[in-house]
Amino acid sequence: MATYKGIQGYTVQKLTTDPPAAQSVGQLWYNSTTGAYKIGIEGAGAWASGGDLTTGRSSAAGCGTQGAGLLFAGEPPATAKTESYNGTAWTEVGDLGGALYSAVGGGTQTAALCVSGTTPPGAITLGVESWNGTSWSGTGDNVNVARTRGLGSTAGTTTAMLFAGGQVYPTVYGTTETYNGSTWTEVNNMTQDRYFSWGSGTSTAMLAVGGISSPSEPTTQLATVESWNGTCWSEVNDLNTARGKNSSSGTQTLALCFGGLPGRTALTESYNGTSWTEVADLSQARAEATGFGTSTASICAGDDSTPVDEKTEEWNDPVYSIKTVTVS
């Protein structure tokens, strides 16, 4: 009988333990402990369960990365709670100055901004708070136009942030403001007024993805996506499925959109800088969840189910795994 060595010209490595999946793609080995041949596989992106929030909520703001994230504010009830994520578990850290929901977040786990939003019992705030890795403090640098349910540059910084869109019933806004660390300045409006949208990218290069354009029920969900180049907005290719109350992550050229309405959806779409492609769904339909991270390593946390959800999902693309080789 022909041997593998005789066919291929080399032997299969014998190991007592499997190597890390991400480092073994395309490699074949024999695991002498389990008595099985193994191979490393690179698969398509997928969502998997992460650590639960300590406080379930919707309409929260967030920023950071999959391994170093920050989530703050949210409802119901409106909360000032802030949680930090280490890639495995959420931990409560310092509260905001007051309860807030539908705010916009941007920055990192150790240096973030919380912009505008709604305070109980329903007042819209101009205020901005800054996070230094330990505590929040008011910046005193208010936005020019108070509004809630806007979108921002999630990957921005505490000295370079963008805040756009939003709503104060019955007005829907396309207003855009940029922040330089001390002053908010109104710049060119969006091409489409929208709220309950989500921003992906930085203050000079970002996307505004989906959202709602009508001020009252029945709402009109948007498939339109806009790109900001630091000066003005321009429309790019639409989502495949129109949605509002969605979340997103990534950059201007590599982004992910997930969840949303109508009908609550688990649909996920990936953007390559030109077009959107449907990829693997969330494990459950979500709306008003918090999203941040990159197009290859994202977080989706919470949602507006009843009661509000504390579940977190992590997106990884590609997914690495080790398979046992079998003979059929």
Query: Percent of the chain beyond pLDDT 70?
Result: 97
d(CA 86, CA 69): 7
Q: What is the mean pLDDT of residues 139-153?
A: 97
309 φ, ψ (degrees, to nearest 5): -95, 145
Q: Where are the domains of the chain?
A: 4-43, 46-316
pLDDT of 118 strictly over 80: yes
Helix (H) or strand (E) holding 5: helix 4-8
CB 195, CB 150: distance < 8 Å: yes
Q: What is the mean pLDDT of residues 133-153?
A: 97
Q: Is the dihedral of CA 140, 143, 145, 148 positive or negative?
A: negative
The two three-digit tokens of residue 169, written as one number: 């019933």
Convert the pLDDT of each residue in 175-198 to its tens digit.
999 999 999 999 999 999 999 999
8-state DSSP, 277 = E
Q: What is the mean pLDDT of residues 68-77?
A: 98
Provide the β-strand partners of residue 151.
Answer: 164
Task: Give the up-direction half-sphere exposure of residue 255: CA atoms within 13 A in the CB hemisphere.
Answer: 35
Convert the pLDDT of each residue in 288-322 to its tens digit.
999 999 999 999 999 999 999 999 999 999 999 99
8-state DSSP, 218 = S
Residues sharing a CB contact under 8 Å with residue 285, sequence separation 6 or more, in sequence order: 259, 263, 264, 265, 266
Q: What is the mean pLDDT of residues 232-238?
A: 98
5 φ, ψ (degrees, to nearest 5): -65, -40
Tokens 């660390």 label which residue? 181
- The predicted pLDDT at position 87 comes to 97
Q: What is the CATH number of domain 46-316?
A: 2.120.10.80
- Please, what is the average pLDDT of the chain? 95
User: How far lies 219's CA from each of 119, 166, 213, 254, in Å?
Assistant: 23, 14, 7, 28
Of 33, 21, 28, 42, nearest to 322 (Cα)? Answer: 21
d(CA 320, CA 302): 26
Of 83, 79, 60, 151, nearest to 120 (Cα)? Answer: 79
pLDDT of 4 strictly over 50: no
Q: What is the mean pLDDT of residues 255-274?
A: 96
Tokens 């080995």 label which residue? 29
Residues sharing a CB contact under 8 Å with residue 241, sequence separation 6 or more, in sequence order: 223, 265, 267, 269, 278
pTM, to two decimals: 0.91
Pairing of strands 268-271, 255-258: antiparallel
Tokens 């409106």 label which residue? 78
Structure-model confidence comparison of residues 94 and 12, the more confident one = 94
